[in-house]
């Protein structure tokens, strides 16, 4: 065929028309039949297996608030200034106790290629389910500032599933603010865990993270994430969380994003701040050392009951931090803020 200027012009015109048509098509509402590929098309190649019963390290005990729920309070385990929370209650009145948010114990360990976390809750909601958010926070470089958050919303499956599972990274390293674990003197405007690298099996690795309700215990949420994706040396600190919408990756650390007065307190002994207000329906555990022997001074580490609080040089408290939280003194011997008067 002889190519004439007329034919070239026609081809350009047709191509232009096609492009316009395509442009219009993308702006038109997509019919149901053209919906994005369903998650069932994700091909999984590596699924966690049953968790080991032999591991007895990496356990974190937590307050059982069911015992004090009739008193509309927690009996302990809630120290806002230290990043320890025990708030499985509604705000202000604290007359609704959420057993599905009350962590009793956690266990975290690594078993290549996985990090596994088990979160024991007090009990289900009125419908027999666990409709909260449950998360594993990993501090890869052991500085007390979380690096990764593996979170599942409303786990329902007794089989390992990626449904409702998200993995968040604090890529710009602002979680924890200026003082790891402790409340910062000045509130942060940081973005917490801002980078979502995985959701519902979608991400560069469709097998990155999983969750299930234990087939053996309806009050046990299990999470698994690939070790190599979140830690490079198999040595890390980790703790777990339970919450409703309150468990928002963007506002970590909670005690750097609000004051003690705004958050309130769940223990009646903190009479200046009781009850909980801006921070409610939330529970967490202290952190356990995985893959290394803790010195005892790691920020956020679970305390051996026989061990005193880290004091002296390892205590990160300052008078300014205590004053910002409404206290008047810092006791460096016990590493505690002390009330005024």
CB nearer to Ca ion: give 170 or 222: 170
Smallest distance, Ca ion to C-beta of residue 46, A: 29
CB nearer to Ca ion: give 114 or 241: 241
Q: Strands (DSSP E) along the chain, which ranges?
A: 59-61, 86-87, 103-111, 114-121, 133-139, 148-153, 165-169, 195-199, 202-203, 209-213, 220-226, 236-243, 282-284, 288-290, 329-331, 336-338
CA distances to 57, 138, 166, 279 from 288, rounded to whole Å, are 9, 10, 22, 24
CB nearer to Ca ion: give 48 or 88: 88
Instruction: State the Rg of the chain over Cα.
Output: 24
Smallest distance, Ca ion to C-beta of residue 20, A: 42
Structure tokens at 107: 């266990």
Smallest distance, Ca ion to C-beta of residue 173, A: 7
Q: Are 115 and 238 in contact (CB under 8 A)?
A: yes
Burial 306-320 (b: 16+ CB within 10 A, else e): eeeebeeeebbbeee
Task: Write the DSSP assignment of 93-106 as a string of letters.
Answer: S---B-GGG-EEEE
CB nearer to Ca ion: give 222 or 283: 283
CB atoms within 10 A of CB 209: 28
CB nearer to Ca ion: give 107 or 162: 107
CB nearer to Ca ion: give 69 or 289: 69
Of 289, 331, 285, the C-alpha closest to 309 is 331
- Give the angle 65-67-69 at the CA atoms, nearest 5°: 65
Smallest distance, Ca ion to C-beta of residue 242, A: 8
For residue 213, list its beta bridge partners. 221
CB nearer to Ca ion: give 162 or 330: 330
Smallest distance, Ca ion to C-beta of residue 324, A: 11
* Rounded CA separation 32/22 (Å): 18
Q: Which residues bind Ca ion (CB under 5 A)?
A: 62-63, 77, 86, 102-103, 170, 172, 174, 176-177, 179, 184, 191, 194, 256, 283
Burial of 30 (0-12, 13-18, 19+ CB in 10 A): exposed
Smallest distance, Ca ion to C-beta of residue 254, A: 10
Smallest distance, Ca ion to C-beta of residue 172, A: 5
Smallest distance, Ca ion to C-beta of residue 228, A: 22
CB nearer to Ca ion: give 63 or 166: 63
SS3 161: strand
């Amino acid at each position: 065929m002889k190519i004439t200027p007329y034919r070239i012009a026609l081809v350009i015109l047709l191509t232009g028309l096609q492009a316009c048509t395509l442009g219009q098509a993308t702006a038109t509402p997509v019919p149901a039949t053209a919906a994005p590929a369903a998650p069932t098309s994700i091909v999984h190649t590596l699924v966690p297996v049953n968790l080991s019963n032999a591991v007895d390290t990496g356990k974190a005990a937590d307050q059982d608030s069911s015992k004090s729920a009739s008193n509309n309070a927690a009996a302990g385990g809630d120290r806002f200034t230290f990043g320890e929370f025990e708030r499985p209650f509604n705000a202000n009145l604290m007359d609704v106790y959420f057993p599905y948010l009350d962590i009793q114990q956690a266990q975290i360990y690594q078993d290549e290629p996985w990090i596994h976390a088990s979160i024991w809750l007090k009990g289900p909601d009125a419908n027999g389910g666990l409709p909260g958010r449950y998360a594993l926070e990993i501090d890869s470089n052991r500085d007390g500032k979380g690096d990764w958050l593996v979170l599942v919303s409303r786990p329902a499956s007794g089989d390992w599933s990626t449904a409702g599972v998200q993995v968040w990274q604090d890529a710009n390293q602002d979680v924890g603010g200026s003082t790891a674990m402790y409340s910062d003197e000045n509130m942060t405007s940081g973005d917490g865990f801002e980078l979502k690298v995985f959701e519902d099996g979608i991400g560069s690795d469709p097998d990155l993270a999983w969750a299930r309700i234990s087939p053996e215990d309806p009050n046990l949420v299990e999470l698994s994430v690939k070790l190599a994706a979140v830690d490079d040396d198999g040595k890390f600190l980790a703790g777990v969380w339970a919450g409703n919408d309150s468990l928002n990756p963007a506002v970590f650390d909670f005690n750097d994003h609000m004051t003690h007065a705004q958050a309130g307190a769940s223990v009646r002994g903190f009479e200046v701040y009781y009850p909980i207000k801006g921070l409610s329906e939330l529970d967490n555990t202290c952190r356990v050392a995985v893959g290394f022997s803790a010195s005892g001074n790691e920020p956020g580490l679970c305390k051996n009951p026989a061990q005193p609080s880290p004091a002296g040089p390892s205590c990160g408290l300052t008078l300014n931090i205590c004053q910002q939280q409404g206290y008047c003194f810092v006791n460096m011997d016990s590493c505690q803020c002390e009330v005024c008067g």
